[in-house]
Amino acid sequence: MRMFSQEVYKARREKLKAAMKSGVCIFMGNNEAPMNYPDNCYQFRQDSTFLYFFGIAQAGLKAIIDVDNNRDIIFGDELTVDDIVWMGEVASIKELAARCCVVDVRPAAEFEKYVKAAKAEVHFLPPYRHDNMIFLSSVLDIPIPELQKRSSLPLVKAVVALRNVKEACEIEELKAAAEIGYEMHTTAMKMANDGVSEHEIYGTIEGISLKHGLLTSFHSIVSKNGQILHNHTHENILHTGDLLLNDSGAQTDMGYASDNTRTFPVGGKFSQRQKDVYQIVLNTINGSIPMMKPGETYQSIHLKACEILAEGLKGLGLMKGDMKEAVQLGAHAMFMPHGLGHMMGLDVHDMEDLGQINVGYDEEVQPIKIFGVASLRMGKRLQVGNVLTNEPGIYFVPQLIDIWEREHKFEQFINYAEVDKYRDFGGIRLEDDILITPTGSRIVGDRRIPIEIKDVEEYMNM
């Protein structure tokens, strides 16, 4: 099991103690998750906050950081010979704990006793796995439906403040994930030819992660129906002239993600109409990455990016009027109903289990509650060390067009007669992962997946 050096985990826990000042902080590791019977499980994935503070990717562990008594404890049961017969020998919990600088290891059953005997306030993070909810509910004597609201906001905030800013060792991991992501994306480009199925490309690129001994960071979206934002079906056969949208990424064995999207023409040649729409999305990503600097709010960058997008759509005759005003009112969201990006790190939507409002927003920047902008997962001021995605898109969603047109919605900004000509166009999204640096920002990884029209065509025809 690969882990960072001991000091990394110790320093993170010390910073957490300094931020919390008092209390008993609970960290629930994940258990194996049965797929169809208890011994046939999904691939194990450790909880990301547990990984952050303890680094041990093993099922069945829990931990406590007891701030008042300055104790870090890992709870879990060592394998018995019955387990070893089936699973082979693995490092003991004691050995693994030593690798994250924890010497206090106790049997799993002692966790409950420790929590129940605690004199100080018990802090826990919002649980998202049902087995952990049932367990916490029983140990803390809190009804399951109340667990979310009784989870600890101070602990959430302290964890977010730490995980927000990526350390040098984490950036190296993210770069490694980006490199596998590059291979996944360029392979998909090369495979996108007439008669090939989406499944074949999906299986091949997920296999690239697997062949490196890794998982993907989320279910790959490989679809010629790019207008369906999170489309997880891959049942179509590709034909020359289709656009294929590939939104996929790898995660390293330590859990760090990549998340990129490219959209490219089956057969390797964009039509003029595809180029026109693609170039608008390209101008939006290329125009908004340089805006990503420490101190800027991502909400304002999202809105500026939407203005670039809307101006492009106006140039194509799909929108009309004042595009600043159109974006303020949300008219552009018929074409881009999602946010410009999200935090990324140990989770592809980093820390989303801790509550989007706590990760992407703060006292200063609050969500804008109109369709489209409301889906922006990250709005707050950018900080050096943040890693987040920039992923604009243009989509033609026939069902959405129908409703808006019937309601005469934003008729002053949307040229429905023109939009109707694009009903079968599909969707285009382009996505890069960006690190905020002291002077601005840069793409995570050593090379950018081909994105300019001529580079994509050249690469696909090489």
Which of positions 32-91 make contact with Mn ion (CB under 5 A)?
none
Residue 206 contact partner, candidates ligand GLY, Mn ion, none, CB within 5 to 8 A by sort of partner: none
Residue 308 near residue 287 (C-beta atoms within 8 A) = yes
Q: Which is nearer to ligand GLY, 177 or 419 (CB)?
A: 177
Q: Which is nearer to ligand GLY, 72 or 259 (CB)?
A: 259
Q: Which is nearer to ligand GLY, 136 or 184 (CB)?
A: 184
Residue 135 contact partner, candidates Mn ion, ligand GLY, none, CB within 5 to 8 A by sort of partner: none
Least distance to ligand GLY, CB of residue 385, Å: 20
In angstroms, the CA 231 to CA 214 distance is 22
Residue 277 near residue 394 (C-beta atoms within 8 A) = yes
Residue 173 contact partner, candidates ligand GLY, Mn ion, none, CB within 5 to 8 A by sort of partner: none
Which positions lie near ligand GLY, rule CB under 6 A? 218, 247, 259, 342
Least distance to Mn ion, CB of residue 149, Å: 28
Q: Which is nearer to Mn ion, 173 or 431 (CB)?
A: 431
Q: Locate 199 and state its tokens.
A: 């499944």
Binding flag, residue 259, Mn ion (CB under 5 A): yes
Residue 435 near residue 390 (C-beta atoms within 8 A) = no
Least distance to ligand GLY, CB of residue 345, Å: 13
Residue 263 contact partner, candidates ligand GLY, Mn ion, none, CB within 5 to 8 A by sort of partner: none
Least distance to Mn ion, CB of residue 258, Å: 10
Residue 66 contact partner, candidates ligand GLY, Mn ion, none, CB within 5 to 8 A by sort of partner: none
Note every long-range contact of 138-144, with CB atoms under 8 Å and residues 24 or more positions apart, other chains counting. Answer: 139/111, 139/112, 139/115, 140/115
Q: Which is nearer to ligand GLY, 75 or 361 (CB)?
A: 361
Q: Please state the φ and ψ torsions of residue 259, each to the nearest 5 degrees.
A: -155, 100
Q: Which is nearer to Mn ion, 132 or 389 (CB)?
A: 389
Residue 453 near residue 243 (C-beta atoms within 8 A) = no
In angstroms, the CA 215 to CA 217 distance is 6
Q: Locate 84 and state its tokens.
A: 């070893």
Residue 459 contact partner, candidates ligand GLY, Mn ion, none, CB within 5 to 8 A by sort of partner: none
Binding piece for Mn ion, criterion CB under 5 A, among 117-125, 268-276, 384-392, 420-428: 384-392
- The strand pair at 24-28 and 122-124 is best described as parallel
Helices (H) and strands (E) in the chain, counts: 17, 17
Binding flag, residue 432, Mn ion (CB under 5 A): no
Which of positions 190-249 make contact with Mn ion (CB under 5 A)?
none
CB atoms within 10 A of CB 111: 22
Binding flag, residue 389, Mn ion (CB under 5 A): yes
Binding flag, residue 274, Mn ion (CB under 5 A): no
Binding piece for Mn ion, criterion CB under 5 A, among 103-111, 158-166, 255-263, 416-424: 255-263
In angstroms, the CA 161 to CA 88 distance is 39
Residue 93 near residue 105 (C-beta atoms within 8 A) = yes
Report which of 185, 392, 376, 390 is spatially closest to residue 281, judged by C-alpha positions: 392
Least distance to ligand GLY, CB of residue 248, Å: 8
Q: Which is nearer to Mn ion, 72 or 350 (CB)?
A: 350
Amino acid letter at 236?
N
Residue 347 contact partner, candidates Mn ion, ligand GLY, none, CB within 5 to 8 A by sort of partner: none
Residue 189 near residue 456 (C-beta atoms within 8 A) = yes
Q: Which is nearer to ligand GLY, 218 or 416 (CB)?
A: 218
Residue 416 contact partner, candidates ligand GLY, Mn ion, none, CB within 5 to 8 A by sort of partner: none
User: What single string gives the DSSP state of each residue in 281-326?
Assistant: HHHHHHHHGGG--TT-BHHHHHHHHHHHHHHHHHHTTSB-S-HHHH
Residue 44 contact partner, candidates ligand GLY, Mn ion, none, CB within 5 to 8 A by sort of partner: none
Residue 218 contact partner, candidates ligand GLY, Mn ion, none, CB within 5 to 8 A by sort of partner: ligand GLY
Binding piece for Mn ion, criterion CB under 5 A, among 26-34, 200-208, 386-394, 447-455: 386-394
User: What single string gives the DSSP state of each residue in 102-165?
Assistant: --EEE-TTHHHHHHHH--SPEEEPPP-SHHHHHHHHHHHT--GGGHHHHS-HHHHHHHHHHHTS
Residue 457 contact partner, candidates Mn ion, ligand GLY, none, CB within 5 to 8 A by sort of partner: none
Binding piece for Mn ion, criterion CB under 5 A, among 1-9, 43-51, 278-286, 383-391: 383-391
Q: Which is nearer to ligand GLY, 136 or 245 (CB)?
A: 245
In angstroms, the CA 376 to CA 354 distance is 16
Q: Which is nearer to ligand GLY, 63 or 348 (CB)?
A: 348
In angstroms, the CA 257 to CA 48 distance is 11
Q: Nearest 5 degrees, angle CA 23-CA 29-CA 31?
A: 145
Residues binding Mn ion (CB under 5 A): 259, 389
